[in-house]
Amino acid sequence: MPSEKLKSLIALRRASPYDSSQSIELLRGKGPDAGSVPRPNTKIESCDMDGVYGEWVVNGTLTNEGVFIFFHGGGYYRSSAEASRRIGSNISASCGCRCLTVDYRLAPENQFPAAVEDAYAAYQWTLKQGFPSHQIVVGGSSAGGGLTAALLAKLKMEGEGQPAAAVLLSPWTDLTQSAATFESNQDSDPSISKIYLDRMAGLYLNGVDPKDPLASPVFSDLEGLPPILVQVGKPETMFGDAEAFANKARQCGVQVDFQAYDDVPHAWHNSDHVVPRTPEVLDAFNKIGHFFTTHVTSQGSGRSPSADSTQTEI
């Protein structure tokens, strides 16, 4: 059963779903996103990643020498590094690490493959800061989850080493919207419709084949990718997308931890500033923290995290 707080969040989502008929300007909204307010005791430092803006987000005391590179969601057309401060601070707290949020270019002003190029640039810049690949975890939510998978595909295409692991939160990896749940979960998903996603995919791709492996990484060669954590809600229209990606990755020999949550809405991790400390959000971040410290520590990240770092409460 969903918690009372989750019920409140779902009600708020149902009251204001994404309307595919609205202008991009209206959908983007005006003023700073509420997610730009981090959790208490958080330090923010801006950085220029060879032309890509980013922010270092650190909450509390670091217990792990690794870094989590985070790519925000927003259908490739909205949101920002600044709007990711809340989720970035929750990642930092849960993992005991630095979180680097990336302000990749947005559509329709900057179409595919601009976002992939910026993700790649951010990863290369992080390596140049002295973080070896085995100390880096990459991750993102929704479109950012798809972008994370696209970055892994890009690194493989370029013959470069992979990061220690990847975290995909309600990922959008198939811009053809071909999974059955894009239709069957229309009523159970309170905010994301197939019509909306079709429009946003069109704005991002601008005529490019949606099966391009860097646009829809579910169609890429997944062999040799690092361990991947996938978290998704069973009611989501994107549930089948996330499940298909996880299944294909497993078939390609990738270690996949697929965590399907009952009742939760799309990318519920991003809603801590709306309904704080929802039990389902706390649980998800604690599992992300455990996944991070397991894979970064096991590959020799230097200073080990404290024994209880994976149990940090947000």
Model confidence pLDDT, tens digit, residues 161-191: 999 999 999 999 999 999 999 999 999 999 9
Neighbours of 30 (CB within 10 A): 6
> HSE (CB half, 13 Å, CA atoms) of 204?
32
Q: What is the pLDDT of residue 307?
A: 31
- Residues tagged active-site: 142, 236, 266
Model confidence pLDDT, tens digit, residues 279-302: 999 999 999 999 999 999 744 433
Residue 25: its H or E element: helix 24-28
Please answer whether residues 99 and 89 qualify as being in contact, where contact means their C-beta atoms are separated by less than 8 angstroms: yes
Residues whose CB is less than 8 angstroms from the CB of residue 52 and which lie 6 or more positions away in sequence, other chains included: 102, 103, 104, 118, 121, 122, 125
Q: Is the pLDDT of residue 262 over 90?
A: yes
Tell me the domains of the chain and their CATH numbers: 4-12+33-303 (3.40.50.1820)
Q: What is the pLDDT of residue 33?
A: 56
Q: Is the pLDDT of residue 97 over 90?
A: yes
Q: Is the pLDDT of residue 155 over 70?
A: yes
Q: What is the pLDDT of residue 34?
A: 55
Report, as an integer, the average pLDDT of 121-132: 98
User: Among candidates 281, 130, 149, which has minimal Cα distance to 212?
Assistant: 149
Please answer whether residues 256 and 230 qualify as being in contact, where contact means their C-beta atoms are separated by less than 8 angstroms: yes
Please answer whether residues 124 and 151 qualify as being in contact, where contact means their C-beta atoms are separated by less than 8 angstroms: no
Q: What is the pLDDT of residue 306?
A: 34
> What are the φ/ψ torsions at residue 299 (nearest 5 degrees)?
-110, 20
Model confidence pLDDT, tens digit, residues 198-254: 999 999 999 999 999 999 999 999 999 999 999 999 999 999 999 999 999 999 999
| Cα separation, 159 vs 223, whole angstroms | 13
| Cα separation, 103 vs 119, whole angstroms | 9
Pairing mode, strands 42-49 and 52-59: antiparallel
Residues whose CB is less than 8 angstroms from the CB of residue 298 and which lie 6 or more positions away in sequence, other chains included: none
Report, as an integer, the average pLDDT of 58-78: 96
| Cα separation, 102 vs 110, whole angstroms | 15
